[in-house]
Structure 1
Amino acid sequence: MTDLTWPDAPGGRASGFIDGPAGAVEVDIELPKGHARGFVVVCHPHPQQGGTKDNKVVYMSARAAREAGLASLRFNFRGTGNSEGSYDEGRGEQDDLRAVRDWAAAQSGLELAGLAGFSFGSAAALRVAVADGAPSLVTIGLPTGYFDHEVPRPPGPWLAVYGDADEVIDVARAITTCRELDEPPELVVLEDAGHFLHGRLTELRSHLQDFWQTDTPAA
């Protein structure tokens, strides 16, 4: 069930469905006001804990991408919102991300500029970036406890954002784990910010915009 068409003008937007590995996937596309030099796919937090493509952190991340001259795509993982299928503990969700990424590349003629995710979604984005490669990666509130062994390091630029008062994950462990990687990501720690970055979304937007303007190639 595919009824989604790529917008045809700067600043355009579109919402609809594409075919995914577990059925229809619900997707929102928004273009920058000027020429898009690539696209970013943003993944939402845990679907069994209320996470959707409309989460405020996800929305602000997509906005930062557009302000950096990139098209943004937000989507609902399988079994979330109006996306078909059922929760797959992070496995099939990676394939949902791949489906959105590949559809966007084929329909838009643009190159992938990066993957991004918040919480559960950041783990999916990281795993796909490691397995498939990605020009850049943004993780927000990455729960490193999701990884049984060493957290993998994808090639390319990686921005990891945490709030040091995160009440959902073991943030001290997560930050230490990132810092101890052989090639640590660029790390931004927002002082006194919780997991959902309430009151700090403007700061998040600024950090992401700067990262994507600096660490993604010009078209």
Structure 2
Amino acid sequence: MSRNLPIPGARDVRATLDSADGEHADTETVVVACPPHPQFGGTRRDSRLRAVSDALTERSVDCLRFDYGPFDGGNAEQTDLANAVAWARTEYEAVGVFGYSFGATVALLATARMVDPDRLSVLAPGAELDVAFDPGDVIAGVDCPLQVVYGENDTTVGWEPFVEAARAAGHVVTSLPADHLFAGQTREAADLVASFFETDDL
């Protein structure tokens, strides 16, 4: 079951809330999902976000997929995420955050600076933003359980510094034999992400 809704805030941010049906309809956990680069067609309807949402709702976890407001190079997009998390906090006991590509980098920076999710999972981080940052400092600023999933054959984004820093910090790091689009590996990646949020301590 899905419904569209606006996210409160100064920017025009629209979202889709996917909920588990039937006996799982009263879940107390939601994952806020950040889409890839909007200037390259990234929206909340991205196939990776939809796959993660499907895998989450199968596990009795709701998913809030949102579109960013007007493009701001990754700066105001962090505020969009913060507003989405703030809305989710009014509706759910536990709130996780997931991001793919540009959305992964936005999620990492926002978590290090202004957002406090219970758990964070990122898929293919490393996309460039119009915001200065050091990957090691960003990972060090994440104060919650973190999962990093990346494609070993991904030549689109510079995931290596994020992976190295996350692994050194003892976070969960998993690789797949995939490219940046996770062609042929989308379901496996989605299951990895959803399983990370399917836990009693979320």
TM-score by length of 2: 0.86
**Map of 1:96 onto structure 2:** 80
Identity percentage over the alignment? 25
CA deviation digits over 1:17-76, x for unaligned, max 9?
Answer: 233322x21110011230312111000011111111111111112222222321110011
Indicate yes or no: 2:153 matched with 1:165: yes
Equivalent residue runs for 1:177-192 within 5 Å: 177-180=165-168, 183-191=169-177
Equivalent residue runs for 1:106-125 within 5 Å: 106=90, 108=91, 110-125=92-107
CA deviation digits over 1:101-146, x for unaligned, max 9?
Answer: 222332x2x1233111001111111122223321100000010765
CA deviation digits over 1:63-92, x for unaligned, max 9?
Answer: 2222232111001101xxxxxxx2111110
Measured in 1, the distance between the counterparts of 2:64 and 2:101 equals 17
**Structure 1: stretches of 5+ with no match in the other structure:** 1-11, 79-85
- How far did residue 163 of structure 1 move? 0.4
- How far did residue 173 of structure 1 move? 4.3
TM-score by length of 1: 0.80
Kindly name which structure, 1 or 2, has the bigger radius of gyration based on alpha carbons: 1
Indicate yes or no: 2:58 matched with 1:60: no
How well do the aligned residues superpose, as a CA RMSD in angstroms? 2.0
The AA in structure 2 aligned to 1:127 is: L
**Map of 1:21 onto structure 2:** 10
CA deviation digits over 1:171-204, x for unaligned, max 9?
Answer: 4444334333xx232011002x000101101111
Measured in 1, the distance between the counterparts of 2:190 and 2:33 equals 13
The AA in structure 2 aligned to 1:14 is: R
Equivalent pairs counted in the alignment come to 193
Indicate yes or no: 2:29 matched with 1:38: yes
Measured in 2, the distance between the counterparts of 1:168 and 1:43 equals 18
The AA in structure 1 aligned to 2:86 is: D
Measured in 2, the distance between the counterparts of 1:61 and 1:127 equals 21
2:190 equivalent among 196, 205, 208 = 205
Indicate yes or no: 2:54 matched with 1:69: no
The AA in structure 2 aligned to 1:90 is: G
Contact kept in structure 1, 2:166 and 2:172, CA below 8 Å: no
